[in-house]
Structure 1
Amino acid sequence: MRNALGLLLATVVAALAITGVWYWLSKPNPANAAAQSAAAKPSESAPPPARVAAKASKDAPKDDVEITGTLPSKTAAASSALALPKSTCANPDALGISRTVVVDTTGGPGFGLDHFKQFDFLADREVVLTFDDGPWPVNTPAVLKALADECTTGIFFSIGKHATYHPEILRQVLAAGHTVGVHTWSHANLNGKKMTDEAAKEELEKGFSAVKFALGTNPAPFFRFPQLQHRPSAVAYLGSRNVAMFSCDVDSFDFRSKDPDQVVNTVMTGLDKKGKGIILMHDFQKNTALALPTLLRRLKAGGYKVVAMKAKGTLDTLPEYDAMVGQDPKLPTTMTNARPISSVIQTVSQ
Structure 2
Amino acid sequence: MRIATGLLVASAISLAAIGGAWSQAAPKTTGATPQPAPPQAAPAPAPAKQACANPDAIGVGRVVEIDTTGGPGFGFEHFKQLDFLRDKEVVLTFDDGPWPSNTPAVLKALADHCTKAIFFPIGKHATYYPEILKQVAAAGHTIGAHTWSHANLSNKKLTEDQRKDEIEKGFAAVKWALGSSPSPFFRFPALQHPPEMVTYLGTRNVSMFSCDLDSFDFKARKPQQVVDTVMTKVDKLGKGIILMHDFQKSTAEALPELLRRLKQGGYKVVQMKAKAPVVTMAKYEEELAKSNALPTVSTRPVSSVVQTISE
Query: With structure 2 as the length reference, what TM-score do the two structures score?
Result: 0.81
Q: Per the alignment, in what secondary structure is the counterpart of residue 182 of structure 1?
A: coil
Q: Deviations over 1:100-125 (max 9, x none)?
A: 00000000000000000000000111
Task: Measure, in 2, the Cα distance between the counterparts of 1:310 and 1:120.
Answer: 16
Larger radius of gyration: 1
Amino acid of the residue matched to residue 124 of structure 1?
D
Match of 2:190 among 227, 231, 239: 227
* Equivalent residue for 2:275, pick from 289, 307, 312: 312
Partner of 1:154: 117
What corresponds to 1:265 in structure 2?
228
Report Cα offsets for 1:150-190 as digits up to 9, x if no partner.
00000000100000000000000000000000000000000
| Structure with a larger share of its residues in helix | 1
Residues 208/86 of structure 1: CA separation in 2 closer, same or farther (3 Å cut): closer
Q: 2:100 is matched with which residue? A: 137
SS in 2 for 1:130: strand
Give the deviation of 1:333 after TM superposition: 1.0
Q: Is 1:201 aligned to residue 164 of structure 2?
A: yes
CA distance in structure 1 between the partners assigned to 2:273 and 2:137 by the alignment: 12
Structure 2 partner of 1:121:
84
Alpha-carbon distance in structure 1 between the residues aligned to 2:202 and 2:253? 36
2:213 is matched with 250
Q: How far apart are the structure 2 equivalents of 1:234 and 1:285?
A: 27
Q: Percent identity?
A: 68
Structure 1 CA distance for aligned equivalents of residues 106 and 231 of structure 2: 18
1:86 Cα shift?
6.8
Distance across 2 between alignment mates of 1:326 and 1:182:
18
5 Å-filtered alignment, 1:1-350, equals: 87-334=50-297
Q: Which runs of 5+ in 1 are unaligned?
A: 1-45, 47-67, 71-83, 336-350
Q: Deviations over 1:254-298 (max 9, x none)?
A: 001010000000000110111100000000000000000000000
Give the C-alpha shift of residue 69 in structure 1. 5.2
Deviations 1:215-252 (A, max 9, x none): 00001000000000001111111000000000000100
Q: Distance in 1 between matches of 2:83 and 2:48?
A: 35
* Structure 2 partner of 1:8: none
Cα 1:251–1:86 change in 2 (3 A) is closer
Q: Distance in 2 between matches of 1:87 and 1:227?
A: 36
4+ runs deviating over 4 angstroms:
none
Q: Write the letter of the residue equivalent to 1:294.
A: E
For residues 89 and 333 of structure 1, what CA distance do their matches in structure 2 show? Answer: 38
3-state SS in 1 of match to 2:144: strand
Map of 1:20 onto structure 2 = none
Local SS of the residue matching 1:141: helix
Question: Which deviates the most, 324-333 or 202-211?
Answer: 324-333
Secondary structure of the residue aligned to 1:306 is strand
Q: Secondary structure at the match of 2:280?
A: coil
* Structure 1 residues 195 and 291, CA gap change in structure 2 (3 angstroms): same
> Residue 269 of structure 2 aligns to a residue in which SS?
strand
Following superposition, the deviation at residue 92 of structure 1 comes to: 1.4
* Amino acid in structure 2 at the alignment position of 1:228: L
Q: Distance in 1 between matches of 2:125 and 2:108?
A: 20
Structure 2 counterpart of 1:24: none
Query: Following the alignment from structure 2 to structure 1, what is the Cα–Cα distance between the partners of residues 57 and 177?
Result: 31
Q: Give the whole-Å Cα distance in 1 for the aligned partners of 2:252 and 2:271.
A: 20
The number of equivalent residue pairs is 260
Q: Partners of 2:167 and 2:42 in 1: how far apart?
A: 50
Listed one character per residue, the Cα deviations across residues 30-75 of structure 1 (whole Å, up to 9, x for unaligned) are xxxxxxxxxxxxxxxx9xxxxxxxxxxxxxxxxxxxxx959xxxxx
Shift of 1:87: 2.0
Deviation at residue 201 of structure 1 after TM alignment: 0.4
Q: Secondary structure at the match of 2:99?
A: coil
